Amino acid sequence: MAVLLLADVANGQLAKDAVSKTVSAVAALGDVHVLVAGEGGDAAAAEAATIAGVAKVIFAGDHGFCHLLAEPTADLIVSMAGAYSHIAAPSASDAKNILPRVAALLDVMILSDVTAVVDGDTFERPIYAGNAIQTVKSADSVKVMTIRTTSFEAAADGNSAPVEALGTAASTGLSEWVEDKVAASDRPELTSAKIVVSGGRGVGSEEDFKIIEALADKLGAAVGASRAAVDSGFAPNDWQVGQTGKVVAPEVYIACGISGAIQHLAGMKDSKIIVAINKDEEAPIFQVADFGLVADLFDAVPELTGKV
């Protein structure tokens, strides 16, 4: 059977890295059909067709699928589900919103944040903020799952899969999109950046977060934050890394003024190299750091910015 993969698309932009990693996660399970939903998604659909391993792209271009509201998008996927053994999507906020709804409509369980595909029925996923890994075998007829993309390599490029238009009209009436507040940024996307520089409560203020951002910009890095930094208003919510924020696994993760609570570690402990800058030598972050520097971040971070 085949796999239906809901593409992550925002404002017509395909999250290509995430989709490509999801394709490679599910490639062994059958032909992969990528679903791009929403008017204006033509370019995203065309781009998805270039990912190696994609058998075809299905473009449902009705206006009602814009913003991927959960209710119509779940109905769309359910209407297509009969032809598929697996329904998957990268674990992004849209998929986390939509796929559990799809699963319940199909009377099957959801498999959230899959980190390994053992076979068509068996999957690994983290529980307890990544402090345990569970291997589960599903007895359901269709497996509905979100894929933790940091656990997979991107599929290659250089495909030209066919793009099929699907005329299904979106169901309406339950909810309505009002607005998005998205800060435009030239920085790389947090979940796919090679380097991430993160700041925690130790940074102290929104104003002082600029020294974190300056280091990030010098390195061409994305900026992350701990929950404490976001809750305190130093950084926007979409920078939060952790159990309930984003999961990242860059080449280098630089944690500045972050203590290393398990909920934070859950989002970054698979980074290749972890650097910690913290003035408390007992901070738990040093237990996972490859390179730890016990220092005041207000001295060390600007100095580092000057020397890289």
Partner 1 sequence: MKVLVPVKRVIDYNVKVRVKADGTGVDLANVKMSMNPFDEIAVEEAIRLKEAGKADEIVVVSIGVKQAQETLRTALAMGADRAILVTAADDVHTDIEPLAVAKILAAVAKEENPGLIIAGKQAIDNDMNATGQMLAALLGWSQATFASEVAVDGDTATVTREVDGGLQTVKVKMPAVITADLRLNEPRYASLPNIMKAKKKPLDEKTAADYGVDVSPRLTVVKTSEPPVRQAGIKVGSVDELVSKLKEAGAL
Ligand X SMILES: Cc1cc2nc3c(=O)[nH]c(=O)nc-3n(C[C@H](O)[C@H](O)[C@H](O)COP(=O)(O)OP(=O)(O)OC[C@H]3O[C@@H](n4cnc5c(N)ncnc54)[C@H](O)[C@@H]3O)c2cc1C
* Closest separation in Å from C-beta 251 to partner 1: 6
Site map for partner 1, 93-132, x if CB under 8 A?
A: xx-xxxxxxxxxx-xxxxxxx--------x---xxxxxxx
| Run of H or E including 16 | helix 16-26
Contact 228, 199 (CB under 8 A): no
Site map for ligand X, 240-279, x if CB under 6 A?
A: xxxxxx-----------xxx-x-xx--x----------xx
Phi, psi dihedral angles at 209 (to 5 degrees): -60, -20
Q: Does 54 bind partner 1 (CB under 8 A)?
A: no
Residue 43's beta-bridge partner residues? Answer: none
Of 64 and 245, CB closest to ligand X: 245
Q: Does 292 bind partner 1 (CB under 8 A)?
A: yes
Q: Does 297 bind ligand X (CB under 6 A)?
A: yes
| Interacting partner of 236 out of partner 1, ligand X, none (Cβ under 5 to 8 A depending on kind) | partner 1
Cα–Cα distances (Å) from 294 to 4, 201, 222, 275, in that order, read 48, 16, 23, 11
Q: Does 208 bind ligand X (CB under 6 A)?
A: no
CA 30 to chain centre: 23
* Closest separation in Å from C-beta 287 to ligand X: 12
| Interacting partner of 186 out of ligand X, partner 1, none (Cβ under 5 to 8 A depending on kind) | none
In the region spanning residues 212 to 231, those forming contacts with ligand X, defined by CB under 6 A, are: 226-229
Place of tokens 């007992």: 282
| Interacting partner of 283 out of ligand X, partner 1, none (Cβ under 5 to 8 A depending on kind) | ligand X
Phi, psi dihedral angles at 129 (to 5 degrees): 55, 35
Inter-axis angle of helices 93-105 and 70-80, nearest 10 = 50
What is the DSSP-derived secondary structure letter of residue 272?
S
Q: Give CA–CA dist 21/9, Å, rounded.
A: 14
Angle at 217 between CA 211 and CA 223, to 5 degrees: 70
Q: Does 47 bind partner 1 (CB under 8 A)?
A: no
Contact 168, 151 (CB under 8 A): no
| Interacting partner of 19 out of ligand X, partner 1, none (Cβ under 5 to 8 A depending on kind) | none
Binding partner 1 (rule: CB under 8 A), the pick from 82, 83, 137, 160 is 137
> Contact positions toward ligand X, by CB under 6 A?
200-202, 226-229, 240-245, 257-259, 261, 263-264, 267, 278-280, 283, 296-298
